[in-house]
A = this chain, B = another copy of it.
């Protein structure tokens, strides 16, 4: 009896020590995630999935990092448009440039990812991808979030970082599937999420190959290539990854189709929705938000079997602690 108790205590301690999701409170959400991972990795089990089919896709804005007051890429685009405005007098009277220059966030937010795309196309083209990376890096190194006064890349969600690692430790390949610009997200995906550039799917502008003064060069063009949002997400996943995921994680109706397509597949599937319910530590928003609107996906989650994270209840911490 003493021996048994000792074993129990040791096991419990070991389990606590090795909890792969320490920032998640115990409860149904965490249990559902761990239960899914355990069943698909149980060799010989009825729900076993081969490692090469363990594809997990994550939305980025509002899912891996914050997206309020507006998408961070939009704030980047605004700063860039302001910087370039003197060379573009025509922007003064043209939306969404006018709103960007005037800091009219409401008009900009309402323009959605398509509005960002327009700003990106006009202000982020004409350079090589490498030059663009430099511009993004410089901005991320200096810009600070208006409320949290921290760099934007500090505002990644600690529980999601743990979830990404937990999945990878269990043989999953983790992808970002973002409505945001692919080259913008690639700038920090490896350093912040452990996700290499090739595992980022996102919206993109066209790129042209040209030999300039004898130097092979790629040049970003002011022309939309692909919008990786809503119906675009399953299309983008098919195009870049070539496999249907078994695990999809999002936070808005922009992720509905990704979640629906993922969980409609045969065999074990997991759909995860992050519900922003924590105005104190982060933000509380869903149906009425112009950024990250969560409405239909929230309604359909029970029927579709999607697990909804209640940020306030399920997360012990939100952001990584400041160093």
- Using a CB–CB distance below 8 Å, which chain A residues touch chain B? 52, 129, 173, 182-183, 186, 190, 196-200, 204, 207-211, 215-216, 218, 225, 231-232, 234-235, 238-243, 257, 260-261, 264
Check if B182 sits within 8 Å of A216, measured CB to CB: no
- The CA-CA distance from A241 to B241 in the complex, in Å, is 11
Residue of B at shortest CB range from A233? B209
A207 CB → nearest B CB, Å = 5
Check if B243 sits within 8 Å of A197, measured CB to CB: yes
Contacts of A209 on B, CB cut-off 8 Å? 231-232, 234-235, 257, 261
Contacts of A199 on B, CB cut-off 8 Å? 198
Check if A198 sits within 8 Å of B264, measured CB to CB: no
- The CA-CA distance from A236 to B106 in the complex, in Å, is 36
Q: Quick one: given A207-B239, A242-B183, are A260 and B129 in contact (CB under 8 Å)?
A: no
A52 CB contact (under 8 Å) in B196, B204, B234 = B196
Contacts of A264 on B, CB cut-off 8 Å? 215-216
Contacts of A240 on B, CB cut-off 8 Å? 198, 240
Check if A186 sits within 8 Å of B218, measured CB to CB: no
